[in-house]
Structure 1
Amino acid sequence: MRLLGALLLALGVLWMTRPASAQMYDPRYPVCMHVYGELVGERMDCIFTSLDQCQAGAVGLPATCLVNPYYAPRSARPYRPER
């Protein structure tokens, strides 16, 4: 009986805890989609190159498109120091 109680307690604790989720803004893409809601979960998808592309992907979802505050555009040519 004690084992059953401990097992039920452990299962209850596991069921109540949610996995930790870190918000990640991918600096390679200028636009992010913030998806929210109980059914789809909350997440930040930074995989879009334009707001139009993001809005097309957000159709039918509880989501908002926004500019990535951590976007770091790549330069056209790599920097090479002079000799």
Structure 2
Amino acid sequence: MTIAAALAASPLRAQTYDPNYPVCIQIYSIGGGRIDCSFTSLAQCAASASGRAAQCYDNPYFAQPGRKLSRPRGVY
């Protein structure tokens, strides 16, 4: 039973979006691409993306300090 559980387990992947940084870069390449969320501003990211097949965007999972998540109305 232990062997079956070990064989059925899939490998874990690292989290793509780091919630500590507000800006991400997506780098495109022939063999695939990657996402790096380690930038503090769009200007910083744009400097890194310059001359490469890359795109900067706001991190959709950025955890803003002090931000309270509100619950949609009518949902309890």
Structure 1-normalised TM-score?
0.58
Deviation at residue 73 of structure 1 after TM alignment: 2.0
Structure with bigger gyration radius:
1
**AA partner of residue 47 (structure 1):** S
3-state SS of paired residue (2:29): coil
Deviation at residue 23 of structure 1 after TM alignment: 6.2
- Indicate the structure with greater strand content: 2
Any residues of structure 2 matched to 1:6-45 within 5 Å, and which? 24-38=16-30, 41-45=32-36
Structure 2-normalised TM-score?
0.63
Q: What are structure 1's unaligned runs of at least 5 residues?
A: 1-20, 76-83
Alpha-carbon spacing, 1:72–1:57, altered in 2? closer, same or farther (3 Å): same
3-state SS of paired residue (2:64): coil
Equivalent residue pairs, number: 55
Matching residue of 2:5: none
The reply to whether residue 56 of structure 1 matches residue 27 of structure 2 is: no
RMSD between superposed Cα atoms in Å = 2.2
Q: What are structure 2's unaligned runs of at least 5 residues?
A: 1-12, 67-76
In structure 2, C-alpha distance between the alignment counterparts of 1:68 and 1:57, rounded to whole Å:
16
